[in-house]
Amino acid sequence: MTITSPHLGSPAVWTDAKLLHALEEVVETELNRHLKVTKDWMPHEYVPWSDGRNFPGFFEDGEAWEKGQSKVTEIGRIALVVNLLTEDNLPSYHHEIASLFGRDGAWGTWVHRWTAEEGRHGIVMRDYLLASRAVDPDKLEQFRMSHMSEGFESDNRHSMLHSVAYVAFQELATRVSHRNTGHQSGDPVCDRMLARIATDENLHMVFYRNLLKAAFELAPDLTMQAVRDVLVNFRMPGHGMPGFERFAAQMAIGEVYNLRIHHDDVIQPVLRFLKVMEVDGLGPEGQKAQEEIGLYMGGLDSEASKFDEKLAARKARMAARAAG
């Protein structure tokens, strides 16, 4: 998008409504690009239906769930439940982004298309988990009811720009989490399914990342501040689910998602693509935000290194225990 207007970066100029209007052309361009490169796929084709059998209840031949019925690893089970419960909150996510971005024009078309694509993820993951008996179906449903009954409110619902910045990072975080879950699952069928989902999430990230790039061109100071705020307060959308802190700790140890992955595979790639630390011509608030992003990344890298050391020591202890 070519910007011919003078640099307008103050809150007095850029309201959410004005930014939504100014970015409409970019949204349409990105939507058209997305529709050209994305491929429709059928969730039922990724599910091992022949592995399925009746559960107890109304069926006389129902077989109770037992952990040994599936080849999925323990960390795979944990991550799959977290990932699915996160996807389950799609109605709340749709409400949030539809309220922020609107239901008309290119914005509205994208909101509905994104929702439809995300819906596939929950469908295929639940069908896989039930057919393959990877997790306890009763507990899974209890978790879903508890999680969805709480609802979801975005930390960034106060600002369209903050929301765009958040999803640019969050979609990539979700892609990485799904991909690593597949790698750690111990089941090639699960790995293949999650690789398909991860492909969607990556395309969603590209859409929002490119939108964020356009926002930097329009309102660099405000966009820099939004990125700063999002990074220092970043939380995954599933943070409200029961037991999330414990699950997150297990996923960190299991190398599905941890501080090192968050720093190296999620935040850094987006910052590098957008050349965030190279943006010049900023006003005082934009410069301050840029400096704080640099400081935050340094601190995050340091914390990630400490975690790496603890994880390496834990692996060494486990290896020694196994050898002894």
pLDDT of res. 244? 85
Rounded CA-CA distance 133/140 in Å is 11
Instruction: Note whether 219 and 8 are within 8 A (CB).
Output: yes
Residue 6: inside a domain, yes or no?
no
Residue 3: inside a domain, yes or no?
no
Residue 220: inside a domain, yes or no?
yes
pLDDT of res. 4? 31
The first and second tokens of residue 123, run together, are 């469908």
Residue 55: inside a domain, yes or no?
no
Candidates 89, 66, 245; CA nearest to 139 is 66
pLDDT exceeds 80 at position 240: no
Rounded CA-CA distance 214/204 in Å is 16
pLDDT exceeds 70 at position 11: no
Taking only the tens place, the pLDDT of each residue in 267-295 is: 999 999 999 999 999 999 999 999 999 99
pLDDT exceeds 60 at position 1: no
Taking only the tens place, the pLDDT of each residue in 185-198 is: 999 999 999 999 99
Candidates 121, 113, 108, 131; CA nearest to 41 is 121
Provide the domain limits for residue 199: 16-48+68-323
Residue 127: inside a domain, yes or no?
yes
pLDDT exceeds 80 at position 48: yes
Residue 7: inside a domain, yes or no?
no
Mean confidence (pLDDT) of the chain: 90
Helix axis angle, 188-218 to 220-232, nearest 10°:
140
pLDDT of res. 6? 37
Residue 171 annotated as part of some ligand binding site: yes
What single-letter DSSP state applies at residue 55?
A: P
Which residue type occupies 59? Answer: F
Q: Which residues contact 288 (CB under 8 A, 6 or more apart)?
A: none
pLDDT of res. 117? 95
pLDDT of res. 7? 44
The CATH number linked to 289 is 1.10.620.20
153 pLDDT tier (thresholds 50, 70, 90): confident
Residue 262 annotated as part of some ligand binding site: no
pLDDT of res. 59? 87
Region 226-234: mean pLDDT is 95
Residue 121 annotated as part of some ligand binding site: yes
The tokens 């999680």 sit on which residue? 147
pLDDT of res. 91? 79
Which is more confident, 70 or 240? 70
Instruction: Note whether 271 and 230 are within 8 A (CB).
Output: no
Q: Which residues contact 69 (CB under 8 A, 6 or more apart)?
A: 133
pLDDT of res. 13? 77
Highest mean pLDDT among 101-115, 117-131, 307-321: 117-131
pLDDT of res. 95? 76
Residue 272 vs residues 1, 62, 88, 220, 263: alpha-carbon distances, Å = 20, 53, 32, 16, 12
pLDDT of res. 100? 76
Region 161-166: mean pLDDT is 92
* Largest Cα span, the chain: 73
Q: Which residues of 276-308 are buried (b: 16+ CB within 10 A; e: fewer)?
A: beebeebeebbeebbebbeeebeebeeebeebe
The first and second tokens of residue 73, run together, are 């690893």
Structural domains counted in the chain: 1
The first and second tokens of residue 155, run together, are 């930390």
58 pLDDT tier (thresholds 50, 70, 90): confident
Residue 24 annotated as part of some ligand binding site: no
Instruction: Note whether 134 and 76 are within 8 A (CB).
Output: yes
Residue 220 vs residues 1, 197, 296: alpha-carbon distances, Å = 15, 32, 19
Residue 59 vs residues 50, 181, 244: alpha-carbon distances, Å = 18, 33, 33
- Among 42-51, 107-116, 146-155, the range scoring the smallest mean pLDDT is 146-155
Taking only the tens place, the pLDDT of each residue in 116-143 is: 999 999 999 999 999 999 999 999 999 8
Residue 57: inside a domain, yes or no?
no
pLDDT of res. 8? 43
Residue 79: inside a domain, yes or no?
yes
Q: How many CA atoms lie within 13 A of 204 on its CB side?
A: 26
pLDDT of res. 230? 95
